[in-house]
């Protein structure tokens, strides 16, 4: 159980970091009142959505993902970010395109953090 909690905390951190970076890059399209608390809460909501709702969306959109060779995941990521903005009005995203870009930034941050953690884990494995 501790492992699952640690993974969720890392996911929460990555979502918050990605939202913060995306808000910095798209400051005219993503507003959060320059409050760290808003980013942290929005990151928590996004982490929960990614754990609960996103797998359902992926299964339901499987034909579109197969046809587009996985590129439809960009739309799904944008939908999840838009859902966070809708559920938590303190994080305001002006357009769906901004949400898609934010989803791409969060995905990139997630990839980088996962790669770093995997390399760190591989270096510290006892053989």
pLDDT at residue 14 in the model = 93
Instruction: Give the residue among 108, 48, 39 at the shortest CA–CA distance from 80.
Output: 48
**pLDDT single digits (tens) 36-90:** 999 999 999 999 999 999 999 999 999 999 999 999 999 999 999 999 999 999 9
Task: Give the E-state strand segments of 20-117 in sequence order.
Answer: 30-31, 92-93
For residues 32 and 9, what is the distance between their CA atoms, to the nearest angstrom?
22
Are 79 and 43 in contact by the 8 Å Cβ rule? The answer is no
pTM of the model: 0.88
């Amino acid at each position: 159980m501790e492992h699952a909690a640690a993974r969720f905390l890392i996911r929460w951190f990555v979502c918050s970091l990605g939202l913060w970076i995306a808000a910095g890059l798209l400051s005219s399209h993503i507003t959060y009142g320059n409050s760290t608390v808003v980013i942290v809460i929005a990151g928590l909501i996004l982490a929960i959505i990614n754990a609960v709702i996103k797998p359902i969306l992926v299964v339901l959109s499987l034909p579109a993902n197969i046809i587009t060779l996985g590129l439809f995941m960009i739309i799904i990521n944008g939908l999840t970010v838009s859902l966070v903005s809708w559920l938590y009005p303190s994080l305001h995203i002006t357009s769906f395109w901004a949400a898609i870009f934010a989803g791409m930034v969060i995905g990139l941050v997630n990839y980088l953090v996962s790669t770093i953690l995997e390399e760190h884990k591989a270096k510290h494995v006892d053989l």
